[in-house]
Amino acid sequence: MRHKIKFTLLFFIASAVLMIGCNQSTNHTPKLKDVNLEIAKLDEIRGNISLKTDEIYNSIENLFSKETDNSLISDYRISALNIKQRTDEMIDFIQSIKIEIIKAVEGENSPAINGFEINSAKMVKTKNTKVPFEILIGKNEDGKAYYIKALSQDYKAFLIETVRNDSLITKSINDILNTDDQKNKNSETETWEKYTFQGQSMGSVIIELTQLQNNVKSAELEVLSFVQNEMNEKSKLNN
C-alpha cells in the first residue's frame, strides 16, 4: 500500500515553496533590504528540506548495510543515489548561473561571491536589468533560461519515471516543476522563460533562481520519500 497520506502532506509542504515568480512579466525592482530578506528566507527553507532529505539518504544507507541479503533492496539504493546526483546537478547548474549574473553585474571580485557560495547580503547592484536579460533571455532568445527549462523538464521526467507514474506524486512534481507557458497581465501567452525573467532586476532574478533551487529540493523530497517507503516495505517482506 502506498503511503498516500504522507505524500499528500508532502504535497502541501512542497506547494508552500512553489515558485513565487508566477506573476512576473512586469518590471519589478524590490529594495535591496527586501531582496536580502527574501533570499535569506528561501535559503532557510532549502536548508530545512536538505535536513529531511539527508535523513532519508542516511536511513536508506543504514537499511542497506544492515540487510542480510541487501541485493533484494539494492535497486532502491541505486534509485536514491541517482536522485541525489540528478538533484545536485540541477542545484549546481542554477547556482552557477546566479554566480555568473552577479559577477557580470558587480565584477569578478564581487564580495557577494565566495567560491561557489553566495552571500546575498553583500550584493549591491540589485536593480540592474540589462545583464539578467542578456544572460537569461538573450537577444536571440537563446539564453540560460532556456537551458534551465530543458533541464527542468528532463529532471521532472526522470522523477516521474522513478515513482512509476504514481498519479498523486506525478501531479505534485508537475506542479512544483511547472515550466508551462503562462498568461501575462494582458492575458497574452508568454513562454515560461520570458514570463519568469524578462524585464526583471538582478535582485528579482536571484530570488527566482533561488526559489527554483527550492522547488528542485521539494521535488527530490517527494520522490525520495517514495523510494524510502518502497524500500522499507520490500525489506519487511523479506524478513
The predicted structure's pLDDT at residue 32: 85
The predicted structure's pLDDT at residue 28: 60
The predicted structure's pLDDT at residue 27: 53
Q: pTM value?
A: 0.87
The predicted structure's pLDDT at residue 96: 98
The predicted structure's pLDDT at residue 239: 63
The neighbour count for residue 101, using CB atoms within 10 Å, is: 21
**Residue spans of the chain under pLDDT 70:** 1-28, 68, 238-239
pLDDT in tens, 165-175: 789 999 999 99
Residues 6+ apart with CB under 8 A from 196: 19, 21, 24, 145, 208
The predicted structure's pLDDT at residue 8: 42
